Structure 1
Amino acid sequence: MEVLEPEVWQARAEAHRRRVEAWTAPHLERRGRGETHPVEDFLFTYYGHRPARLRQWHPGAGLVLKGARDFGRAYLDTPGGATLDTAALMDRRGSTVEWIARLLAATAARPAYLGCFGLHEWAMVYKTAEVRHGAWPLRLSGAEVAEVVEQRGVRCGHFDAFRFFTPEARPLNALQPTRERQRDLEQPGCLHANMDLYKWAYKLSPLVSGELVADCFALARDIRVVDMRASPYDLSPLGYRAIRIETPEGRAEYAAEQRGFAERARPLRQRLLDACERLLAGTRHPRFKVAEEIHVPDEIGR
């Protein structure tokens, strides 16, 4: 195991705390005032990782924090310092690590599709008055939203976006994704698939470093901005200029943003996959052997 000197791991932990505090503090302040923000609060309300857990730094598996004691319940105290009890964690969560690794590898192996133009958000408000962000008006009428959806068509392969489509919009989608087919459909141009790198990072935590979780959060935060700018909501009072995907110019702008996020996501996806493969390579339990199909762990759906 690699040993981190106290001045090294303590500096990393403090830098992580300061970085994350810039994201969590405004959210907690808004929550204390009973306010919500449709962009900045999304990663805290949609995903199941609490701000306190995001602030907690972890070194990842295979490292000893020299001089540390009682670092956390997932850690062992050794003569050299504290280290993750990787074997115990993998015994409980090995199937989740394997499922995530398979999804990451399958997604990375596909070409990026850049023709969806963010219409998943439009399909979530198609022919309904009960929208997710009811405090914010739509910048088009309901009839105009429906016309865009029907004329452009929807091709969304991301299950966790599709499940929020209105009942009327679901049959219009060229794909019918399910959790079980997630590995077969996700592709690296999808904004939600790239945003979900944060989800996979925190589900792997503390087996991966706090810095990697924060890097994935930073990407997801930027993606959420574009996701909502391309939506039919009018967020101009918050300073967000709309990407008008109902126009050729708006679709070109969206595809360019999509391409940029795919490039940013590629090394993060690889870092997560590399971490999964290292963890699985050190596991001797037969259920972690390569298999064509594996059960979707309960933890994945949460």
Structure 2
Amino acid sequence: MTPPETVLPEPTWHDLRDAHVARARRWTDPHQERRQRKEKHPVLDFLFTYYSHRPAHLERWHPGPGVVLEGASAEEYLRWSAYRSTPDGVTLGPLSPGRVATASFILDLLSATASRPPRLGCFGLHEWAMVYRTPDIRHAAWPLRLGPSGTDEVVESSTIKCSHFDAFRFFTPPARPLNTLEPSREGQVALEQPGCLHANMDLFKWAYKLDPHTPSSLVMDCFELAVDVRTLDMRASPYDLSALGYEPVRIETERGRAEYVRAQSAFAERAGVLRARLIGLCGGLLSAVGGGGASGDGTSG
């Protein structure tokens, strides 16, 4: 049975659109200003460089499925092929055949992830493994808190158990054999788990992969989670970012590890709510076209 549509009068959806733009620009405006100054930010740039959703796209408001936009100005949405005109206004149509595989993969991945208990206690060592025994570090403008040798000692004295392929693939060659797991793209659905910081940041990716069918409020909720998770990720990293106001989580100490696990647990709970919303969205989109099943679209970025 098809759920009833929500009809939004023109002033109502204009207000929702404007509020979304203001929410997004809290992040996109500073990013654009830094770009103009040619200034790199080791924490926040990640949200706009590793992930492929452009700032201008983040600022666009889409209501999501089952919503009809009233008024003449709603016709501007018809420039996107996903929208269609109805007697009541403009609304999203079903997923195109080419996007069913993407929605199927996302549904399979997120459902599998949600079915597992969160595994905590990785302590963000993936960032340490990315600089292990190499002079070629990603954020070369920022010093290592413990220096190269001290950083290497932390890696060598720790148990590294990274389960996320898109973190593991950036390990240095000497660090790869130290990981207790062997993440791969092919094994992504079988291995991802809800305590992983990268899996929880990636909810933003899975949300925008279905744009414009993902409600923009959900995209922004996932984006803001990714900002907060990325902040912990870099505070727990080997880099000294205190000059930017990021106090370190010293995972090389017992107190720092306890702090990390508390934050990781809170993020897992917060991400679980968003993951469930995305699972529901994918299920609804696929039901509308009679689609489902696994696919191979596990691309990153």
* Residue in 2 that maps onto 1:301: 300
Q: Would the alpha carbon gap of residues 28 and 289 (structure 1) be closer, same or farther in structure 2, given more than 3 Å must change?
A: closer
2:42 is the alignment partner of 1:42: no
Deviation of 1:142 after TM superposition, in Å, equals 1.4
Work out whether residues 124 and 164 of structure 1, in 8 Å CA contact, stay in contact via their aligned partners in 2. yes
* Residue in 2 that maps onto 1:60: 64
Partner amino acid for 1:59? Answer: P
In 2, the alpha carbon distance for the partners of 1:24 and 1:111 equals 34
Deviation of 1:39 after TM superposition, in Å, equals 0.9
In 1, the alpha carbon distance for the partners of 2:226 and 2:140 equals 23
Q: Secondary structure at the match of 1:301?
A: coil
Deviation of 1:289 after TM superposition, in Å, equals 4.3
Deviation of 1:77 after TM superposition, in Å, equals 2.1
Q: Secondary structure at the match of 2:157?
A: helix
Q: Would the alpha carbon gap of residues 193 and 289 (structure 1) be closer, same or farther in structure 2, given more than 3 Å must change?
A: closer
Unpaired segments of 5 or more residues in structure 2? none
1:213 to 197, 213, 219: 219
For 1:110-189, what aligned pairs fall within 5 Å after superposition?
110-189=116-195
Work out whether residues 131 and 171 of structure 2, in 8 Å CA contact, stay in contact via their aligned partners in 1. yes
Corresponding residue pairs, total: 293
For 1:1-302, what aligned pairs fall within 5 Å after superposition?
1-67=5-71, 68-71=74-77, 72-73=79-80, 74-86=82-94, 89-284=95-290, 288-290=291-293, 294-297=294-297, 300-302=299-301
Partner amino acid for 1:296? Answer: G
Deviation of 1:249 after TM superposition, in Å, equals 0.5
Deviation of 1:180 after TM superposition, in Å, equals 1.1
Work out whether residues 131 and 137 of structure 2, in 8 Å CA contact, stay in contact via their aligned partners in 1. yes
Deviation of 1:250 after TM superposition, in Å, equals 0.5
Q: Would the alpha carbon gap of residues 289 and 227 (structure 1) be closer, same or farther in structure 2, given more than 3 Å must change?
A: closer
Unpaired segments of 5 or more residues in structure 1? none
Work out whether residues 160 and 178 of structure 2, in 8 Å CA contact, stay in contact via their aligned partners in 1. yes
Partner amino acid for 1:208? Answer: T
Moved >2 Å (runs of 4+): none
Identity among equivalent positions (%) equals 57
Deviation of 1:70 after TM superposition, in Å, equals 2.8
Cα deviation 1:57-114 (Å, max 9, x = unaligned): 001112111121131323212222111122xx33120000010011111111111111
In 1, the alpha carbon distance for the partners of 2:128 and 2:151 equals 7
Partner amino acid for 2:189? Answer: R
Q: Which deviates more, 141-150 or 31-40? A: 141-150
In 2, the alpha carbon distance for the partners of 1:188 and 1:272 equals 14
Work out whether residues 119 and 231 of structure 1, in 8 Å CA contact, stay in contact via their aligned partners in 2. yes
In 1, the alpha carbon distance for the partners of 2:102 and 2:53 equals 16
In 1, the alpha carbon distance for the partners of 2:67 and 2:129 equals 46
In 1, the alpha carbon distance for the partners of 2:8 and 2:286 equals 23
In 2, the alpha carbon distance for the partners of 1:250 and 1:70 equals 51
CA RMSD of aligned residues (A): 1.2
